[in-house]
Amino acid sequence: MKTYPQTITQKIIAKHCGKQYLDEGEFVLANVDLALSNDVTTPLAIKQFYKMFEDISEPKLFNKNKVVIVMDHFTPNKDIPAAEQNKFTTDFARKFKIKHFYSGGCAGIEHALLPEQGLVKPGDLVIGADSHTCTYGALGAFSTGVGSTDLAAVWALGKIWLKVPQTIKIVYYGKLNKNVFGKDLILATIAKIGVDGANYKTIELTGEVIKKLSIYSRFTMTNMAIECGAKNGIIEPDDVTLKYLKQVYGSQFTVPSWLKSDKDAKYEQVIEIDCSKIYPQVALPHLPSNSVNVKDLNKKIYIDQVVIGSCTNGWYEDLYLAAKVLKGKKVNPNVRCLIFPATPKIYMEAVKNGLVEIFLNAGCVVNPPTCGPCLGGHLGILAEGERAVATTNRNFIGRMGHTKSEVYLSNPVVAAYSAIRGYIAES
């Protein structure tokens, strides 16, 4: 029997549409393991869902236990419209007895909450009405963002149309420099290939450096796959992945042996990146691709705000790195430093281990788990002319508030040093 070499992404999609082999560019109808949405994208999906069933007396979800709704963007409710959206979504979740509905004290930033709650496994196919759904590729899942209308169709059918993407293989090699993490690697990658350099393609992250990264740095990298236009980002599961998953699912958890790219799999291109040339990064306004080494800035860029958190860098590891820098120091009096733990569990761990005390003693504001200022939502909006250093994933015009404000993206260590100095700094 003839065999066809496949990438890990091709294998996952093929498995979910009952095929042994898929061609790049092929259109398929794939079964969905998990359908995700949040307080911003769910209301429209609900309206579209009801439209699909307007001639049927009792609309039905394909599987109420495979639908996940997380109230994380404008929560705690920032205003009356947000409160109305919350209520509309809450009523829907209760009506359909959705098991995985996260609101109030159990809600966290969705892309950190789902792995933590054991809702995503290697080899899964996850669809989310949020562009950063690609985060779960760090666990070896195919996960991608769609619009609310597409999500409504998934709710009804449990399936989604996909075009099988081509894959760009990115090989990271060399020795990591001090205070360089997944955030710096992905920013440097986006700078190299551009914000549309991987349009509707998979970026498969490989190499000796990836194998040495923590699972949290990996989450950061796959989270930002969309920032270079990718359909999904993915990393083959290894011992680091398995160690994390055993903490979530138990010591008996195993990864399917087929879940890896074949040695002779076809790639659209292979890009090699020498990590020894990458230093702590900062992405200048107004694109993530405007990333440069902080040490190469030719002037001091003074700032008004620092945001440490988000689905990109709100993990405990990120808070720990920031706390190490801030311990015994004070935030510059001209700067507001806002901390956003990604989930209640991470928040609790930060309290238990003294990180929150460090932040408060330094003069930071510790906020509840929420997307908050990342999308210009609330709890940290910028005024005209203000500048912020953020560990978030986007720095588009007006992303965090006024269209004449500026956002600079960095890792948590750079963000913490910048909070102390009052200007962008790596030490």
The full set of domains in the chain, from first to last, is: 8-163 (3.30.499.10), 166-277 (3.30.499.10), 282-421 (3.30.499.10)
pLDDT given for residue 14 in this prediction:
97
- Give the confidence band of 315 by pLDDT, cuts at 50, 70, 90: very high
CA 191 – CA 323 distance, rounded (Å): 28
What average pLDDT does the segment 198-218 reach?
A: 97
CB 309, CB 210: distance < 8 Å? no
Distance (Å, whole) CA 116 – CA 36: 15
pLDDT computed for residue 217 by the predictor: 98
Helices (H), 250-371: 310-313, 316-326, 344-352, 355-362
The pLDDT score that the predictor gives to residue 56 is 78
Looking at the chain, the whole-number percentage of residues with pLDDT higher than 90 is 97
Pick the range with the lowest mean pLDDT from 12-26, 52-66, 330-344: 52-66
Q: What are phi and psi of 125, to 5 degrees?
A: -115, 110
Q: What is the dihedral of CA 134, 74, 366, 224, to 10 degrees?
A: 20
Least confident span in 34-43, 55-64, 65-74: 55-64
CA distance 40 to 282: 29
Given phi > 0 = left and psi -120 to 50 = alpha, else beta, which region is 200?
left
What would the mean pLDDT of 146-175 be, rounded to a whole number?
A: 97
pLDDT tens for 282-314 read 999 999 999 999 999 999 999 999 999 999 999
Residue 118, pLDDT above cutoff 60: yes
DSSP string, 28-72: EEEE-SEEEEETTTHHHHHHHHHHHTTTSSS---S-GGGEEEE--
Q: What is the mean pLDDT of residues 175-194?
A: 97
Q: How confident is the model at residue 3 (pLDDT cuts 50, 70, 90)?
A: low
Q: What is the pLDDT of residue 1?
A: 40
pLDDT of residue 202: 98
